[in-house]
Chain A
Amino acid sequence: MESWQLLINTALLGTGRQALPELQASDALYDALLHIRQDTENDREEVLLKSGALLMNFRQAGMMPLVLPEATITACLPESKPYCHPDAVGSLTQVLTLGSIALTRLWMEHCANAGCIVPARLLPLLLEEAKGNRKLREPLMACYGNRGQWLSQLNPDWQAMLATETTTIEEDAWTTGTLSQRSEALTKVRVTNPEEGLQMLMDIWKQENAATKAELMDCLRTGLSAADIAWLQEATTEKSLKVKEKAWKLLRRLPLSNIVQTYWQLIKTAIQAVDGQLITSDLALPLPAEVYQSGIDKLPPSAINMTDETYQLQQLVAHVPCSFFTTYLEQDMSTCLQWLTAAGFEESLLTAAIRFEEEAWIIAILENTHTFYPDVFHHAPPKVLEAYALRFVEKEGSGVILRMGAAKEEWGITFTQQVFRFVAMHPYSYNMNFFLELAHLLPIAILESDEKSYFGDILYNQQAWKNLRDKLFELIRCKAIMLQHFHSSTPQ
């Protein structure tokens, strides 16, 4: 055993139990150790401490570098894209300081669009941010260059930011991944090849439990088509209630499915056009059992001011494409909408338009309605949506701001002014953290607009709003500088 280790072992056990054994060493060191040992003035502890001091000095004087041929690293590939301009990098630093994920993402998108990459020294910081925030992953991967890819390979914590062969990832995830990874893999396949996705699900169907089946079935919403009807119809006979519900839910989204066609036949018995007028009559209740099994409900006992017939008819209307009515009533969309709205079916029509992605109907309904429908926001085109939101921002401000926060395009100046007006009147409901994640939506032009012109004489809590406004404007200014840097600077 090496002398140093022997000395440590003796010290661990204690010289009270065992004295330090004679240490093996080369000539001069041996003589010095022997001298310590033979000095009768030294007790056991002193022999150990003095020998240790000698060995320590001997070791540190002769310390050598290590030789480990297996210790290697593969060099990163050279970058093919230029680094973005230092000014733009400066604005990224500011964005990161503000802590806005939305602006960080926007910065990355602009960087990628400019054909540039992030300077290497900032990559660890950004990869760490992206590790904790999924929204940043793809934008970062578009501008992290070979260095970012290389770092992600080295750090197991950054594997999620690794761009690898898609097929390998999906195959692995589908066979051995967690449920959410499997769902993700199946959804990806459904995007490019819906038939293959369905086949994948059919192949594993029998070996899965009900919860997994229900979860994976949800992925069929992507790329859902008439080709799925037969299999979904079969799935409605499954034992599990959860699976059955999912199957019906998907079938209700397919206009050619038997159930939607059944709904339509029932609607036709209750709604007719006679002499250029819409005539509605009561449904013949009860409806066929299959209709109730598919998810149509009877009027709850607590409901008032509505008949069961109307309640069920409204549900049926909400489950057939709006376009069926134009053919059936032999009228254009505008007239159909007018008639059906007057008959109390506006909300059902909007629900149907959203379900069957009938954009023209959504636009028409939103342009004419006097009702605020929060659920419509994800489905309407930006221009129509903003005009719609603007009509309700004063009365339904919090709902409007919340829903418009998910918008994909920057807000218009008028809408933003009205939002600020609402926020100024409710300053304690909103803080800077809320707006940090909406920074990408706030237009820079608001910095130039005169506050008085849109505030008018309204009463608001001046100090609270001013504090928030200062921070908000700093955020928007940061965005302005960032965009200016990207527009004016050339890559390095």
Chain B
Amino acid sequence: MRSEVRHLSNINLITNRILSLMPISMTEEQVLASAPDDASRKSGRDLANLQKWVSTGRSETALWGACKGSGSKPYQTQVDLSQLAFKCSCPSRKFPCKHGLGLLLIYSRQPNTIPEESSPEWVNEWLSKRQVTAEKKAEKLEEAVASGNVTARKNTAARESKVSEGIADLHKWLKDMIRNGLLQLPEKKSAYWDTTSRRLIDAQAPGLAAMVRNLAETNFYTEGWQQDFMHQLLRLYVTSEGYNHLEDLPETLQEDIRQLCGFTISQDYLKSLPGIHDNWLILGKQVSEQDKLTTERYWLYGESSHRTALILQFYTKQVTTPALTLSPGTAIKAELAWYPSAHPLRAVIKEHRSSWSPMQAKGMHSWMEVVQAQTAISQVQPVFHDQLYIVEQLLPVQYQGRWYLSDSAQQLMPLKPSFNKLWKLLAVTGGQPMTMAVTGCLQQYEPLGVWDHSHYQLL
């Protein structure tokens, strides 16, 4: 195992060095898609003006510049082009900051306006520090594997017992709810949900607590809330019942249930798992916020493996910065390892480098293939979330004020009511069927982008 890990690390380092020599090209849209929020996008655009930079420079692997700020000294901004990483001396807690975005925007618009020269000492220092950190990480992983410390999970007997107790309480609560009827729920105050959710947190089952919070967020004043609510409620029940009968389940499903309950898996362990090397197309990014916690969901598709992957990233604005910056609409050469699951989707990136790709993908021919794929998932994983599909010849159509995506066999799937890029989708497609990357499950989908004449257009 030890030699295998070392071998892999060496391959990665060599690959990284080779790939790092390849310059990346990004469009303005792709740069802006990597911004943490709209305010950063706006500020980044404002700074995409050479007049605001005291100096700029670029090499094959990096961009750097000194930007006039409110302080006496200009801010030193650096971008590692090979892995799309940013560093800036400004005090902003946003990541990437407006300076990094501004500099990259200038580069994406007119790369030749930034002079090509040898990188200054402060840039070299940062790049070599990154290199050293990457090597150290590989060594640490190697040591951890060797010493046997990399176990799938710690001894969690005490925690498992607490979770079981939490689930027993949860079941009482669920049964009370069913006995008294769901019709009384719209009148319930937030304490009704919060108490149960907090108990589950105390019972160290944050995943179940989040599912209770989702129930609480139901809009009881929209038509048909009962259907969605019942679905969510039963997912919670199936997950908690699954945990009660964990030992009767297949090993991979056990992993799914544990993760749904909130058990985490060490990143080091995940990275020690064998992965898949591929050219991964970043087909979209979805960002959501809850209780100041930002969740970024990157949807990836392997060009050769045709595998799909979901990279999740969590951070608290103003407190922590995201560890990873991926630019939707571009591709990365990377090795991905998946979380253990009956139907693996969530993954971690072991190593990655920016890559150029024409963003070609092989799609399914119809919705029927999509539902067949979901039937297969249902067989092994009763509770599953949104998946990524590429479907050919999809056409947005309207019926009684609602929008659907119709396939070449005139079979339809509704668009998610929350989908807010409908008009851009219509503008780009013009009423013509196109291959689309969509996320969703069951009967609700949301397009991430379309292939317009072989060019992937992010929505």
Question: Hey, which bits of chain A sit against chain B, CB under 8 A?
Answer: 7-8, 11-17, 43-46, 48-50, 52-53, 56-57, 60-76, 90, 93-94, 97, 120-124, 127, 147, 150-151, 154-155, 474, 477
Report 13 cross-chain contacts, Cβ distance below 8 Å, ordered by A residue.
Answer: A11-B182, A14-B184, A15-B179, A66-B404, A67-B412, A71-B397, A72-B397, A75-B431, A121-B424, A124-B423, A124-B426, A147-B430, A154-B426
* Whole-angstrom distance between the Cβ of A55 and the nearest chain B Cβ: 8
Which residues of chain B are near A45, meaning CB under 8 Å?
174-175, 178-179
Are A68 and B180 in contact (CB-based, < 8 A)? Answer: no
Chain A neighbourhood of B457, CB < 8 A? 121
Q: Report B-chain residues with C-beta under 8 Å of the C-beta of A7.
A: 230
Within 8 Å CB of B175, what residues of A?
43, 45-46, 49
Determine whether B427 belongs to the interface, using a CB cutoff of 8 Å to chain A. yes
Which of these binds chain A: B78-86, B234-242, B303-311, B345-353?
B234-242
Are A66 and B427 in touch, CB under 8 angstroms?
no
B49 contacts across to A, CB distance below 8 A: 474, 477
A-B contact count (CB 8 A): 154
B428 x A65 contact (CB < 8 A): no
Complex alpha-carbon distance, A60 and B184, angstroms: 27
B241 pairs with A68, CB closer than 8 A? no
What residues of chain B lie closer than 8 Å to A66, measured between beta carbons? 404, 411-414, 443
Tell whether B442 is near chain A: CB-to-CB under 8 Å.
Answer: yes
Question: Are B234 and A52 in contact, CB atoms less than 8 angstroms apart?
Answer: yes
- Using a CB–CB distance below 8 Å, which chain B residues touch chain A? 28, 42, 45-46, 49, 51, 109, 174-175, 178-184, 226-227, 230-231, 233-235, 237-238, 241, 366-368, 370-371, 374-375, 378-379, 382, 395-399, 404, 406-407, 410-414, 423-424, 426-428, 430-432, 441-443, 457
- Given A71-B398, A124-B423, check contact A16 B179 (CB 8 Å): yes
A57 touching B382, Cβ below 8 Å: yes
Query: Once the chains bind, are B46 and A150 in contact (CB under 8 Å)?
Result: no
- Chain B residue contacts of A123, Cβ below 8 A: 423, 427
Q: Name the residue on B nearest A128 (C-beta).
A: B423
Which residues from chain B contact A8 at a C-beta distance below 8 Å?
Answer: 226-227, 230
Instruction: Return A70 CB to nearest CB of chain B, in Å.
Output: 6
Chain B residues in 8 Å Cβ range of A94:
45
CA distance A150 to B182 in the complex (A): 45
Rounded to whole angstroms, the CA-CA distance of A204 and B130 in the bound complex is 81
Contacts of A75 in B (CB 8 A): 430-432
How distant is the Cα of A477 from the Cα of B431 in the complex, in angstroms? 38
Known pairs A11-B178, A43-B175, A66-B411; list 20 more (Cβ under 8 Å).
Answer: A8-B230, A11-B230, A14-B179, A45-B175, A46-B175, A49-B178, A50-B241, A53-B241, A56-B231, A60-B378, A61-B374, A65-B366, A66-B404, A68-B404, A69-B410, A74-B431, A90-B109, A97-B42, A121-B427, A124-B426
Write the chain A residue with the least CB distance to B409. A65
With A8-B227, A67-B411, A71-B399 in contact, do A150 and B179 touch (Cβ < 8 Å)? no
Q: How far apart sit A127 and B423, CA to CA, in the bound complex (Å)?
A: 10
**Nearest-CB distance from A424 to chain B (Å)?**
20
Min CB–CB distance A19 → chain B (angstroms):
11
Q: Nearest chain A CB to B384's CB is how many angstroms away?
A: 8
| CB proximity of B263 to chain A, nearest CB, Å | 21
Tell me the nearest residue of chain A to B378, going by C-beta.
A61
List chain B residues, Cβ under 8 A from A61.
374-375, 378-379
Report Cα–Cα, A53/B427, bound state, in Å: 41
A65 contacts B230, C-beta separation under 8 Å = no
List, in ascending order, chain A residues with CB within 8 A of B423's CB.
123-124, 127, 151, 155
Closest A residue to B457 using CB positions: A121
Residue numbers in A under 8 Å from B431 (CB-CB): 73-76, 150
- B442 A60 Cβ-Cβ under 8 A: yes
In the complex where A64-B371, A71-B397, A75-B432 touch, is A48 in contact with B178 (Cβ < 8 A)? yes
CB distance from A475 to the nearest CB of B (A): 11
A12, A68, A76: the one contacting B183 at CB < 8 Å is: A12
* Of B51, B375, B426, most A-chain CB atoms within 10 Å: B426
Does the CB pair B412–A68 fall under 8 Å? yes
- With known contacts A16-B179, A75-B432, A63–B404 Cβ distance under 8 A: no
**Known A71-B398, A73-B395: A56·B427 in contact at CB below 8 Å:** no
Kindly state the separation between the CA atoms of A68 and B426 in the bound complex, as whole angstroms: 19
The residues of A that contact B226 with a CB separation of less than 8 Å are 8, 12
Q: How far is the CB of A404 from chain B (nearest CB, A)?
A: 27
Identify the closest chain B residue to A474 (Cβ).
B49
Which residues in B have their C-beta under 8 angstroms from that of A13? 181, 183
Q: With A and B bound together, what is the CA distance between A51 and B237 in angstroms? A: 11
CB contact between B412 and one of A46, A57, A71, A151 (< 8 Å): that residue: A71
Judge whether A73 and B396 touch: CB under 8 Å: yes
The 8 closest A-B pairs by CB, nearest first: A14-B181, A71-B399, A75-B431, A65-B411, A124-B423, A61-B378, A65-B367, A45-B175
Question: Of A16, A62, A73, A474, which contacts B51 at CB under 8 A?
Answer: A474
Known A68-B404, A120-B427; contact A49-B234, beta-carbon cutoff 8 A: yes
**Minimum CB–CB distance for A470 against chain B, Å:** 8
A124 to B375, CA, bound (A): 37
Distance to closest chain B CB from A451 (angstroms)? 16
What residue in chain A is nearest B433 (Cβ atoms)? A75
Give the docked Cα–Cα distance between A210 and B55 (Å).
69
| Residues in chain B near residue A63, CB distance under 8 A | 371, 374-375, 442-443
| Residue in chain B with minimal CB distance to A66 | B412
Q: Please, which residues of chain A bring their CB within 8 A of the CB of B404? A: 66, 68, 71
| Docked-complex contact A62 and B375, CB < 8 angstroms | yes
Residues in B with CB closer than 8 Å to A14 are 178-184
State how many angstroms separate the Cβ of A92 from the closest Cβ of chain B. 12
Given A57-B382, A120-B428, are A17 and B413 neighbors across the interface (CB < 8 Å)?
A: no
Q: In the complex, which residues of chain A have a beta carbon less than 8 angstroms from the beta carbon of B368?
A: 65
Chain A residue at minimum C-beta to C-beta distance from B48? A94
Contact check, A90 vs B407: say whether CB atoms are below 8 A apart: no
Bound-state CA distance A71–B373 (Å) is 25
Smallest Cβ-Cβ distance to A124: which chain B residue: B423
- Kindly identify which residue among A16, A52, A74 contacts B230, using a CB–CB cutoff of 8 Å: A52
Residues of chain B within 8 A (CB-CB) of A90 are: 28, 109
Residue ID in chain A nearest B371 by CB atoms: A63
Point out which of A11, A154, A155 has the most chain B C-beta atoms below 10 A from its C-beta.
A11
Task: Report A201 CB to chain B, min CB distance, Å.
Answer: 40
Complexed CA–CA distance, A131 and B449 (Å): 26
B236 to chain A, nearest CB (A): 10
Distance to closest chain B CB from A10 (angstroms): 9
On whether the beta carbons of A52 and B410 are closer than 8 Å, the reply is: no
Whether A57 contacts B378 in the complex (CB less than 8 A), given A68-B399, A76-B430, comes out as yes
Shortest distance between the CB of A71 and any CB in chain B (Å): 4
- Output the residue of B28, B181, B424, B432 with the most chain A CB within 10 A: B181
Shortest C-beta distance, B366 to chain A (Å), equals 8
A122 to B28, CA, bound (A): 14
| B181 near A11: Cβ-Cβ < 8 Å | yes
Q: Chain A residues near B411 (CB, 8 Å)? A: 65-67
For B421, the closest partner residue in chain A by CB is A124
B237 and A53 contacting across the interface, CB-CB below 8 Å = yes
Partner of A56, one of B179, B234, B396, B432: B234
Contact present for A52 and B237 (CB under 8 Å): yes
Q: Which residue from B179, B374, B430 sits with its C-beta under 8 Å from A44?
A: B179
A155 to B395, CA, bound (A): 17
**Nearest-neighbor residue (CB-CB) of B424 within chain A:** A124
Q: Identify which of B109, B424, B431 gathers the most chain A CB atoms within 10 Å of its CB.
A: B431
Closest residue of B by beta carbon distance from A470: B51
> Which listed residue, A46, A67, A73, touches B398 by the CB 8 Å rule?
A73
Which residues of B sit under 8 angstroms from A150, Cβ to Cβ?
A: 430-431
Q: Which residues of B contact A474 (CB under 8 A)?
A: 49, 51
- Measured in the bound complex, the distance between the Cα atoms of B174 and A50 in whole Å is 12
Q: Which residues from chain B contact A64 at a C-beta distance below 8 Å?
A: 371
Report the minimum CB–CB distance from A12 to chain B (whole Å): 5
CA distance A97 to B371 in the complex (A): 42
Centre residue among A43, A44, A63, A67 by max chain B CB count within 10 A: A63
Residues of B within 8 A of A147 (CB): 427, 430
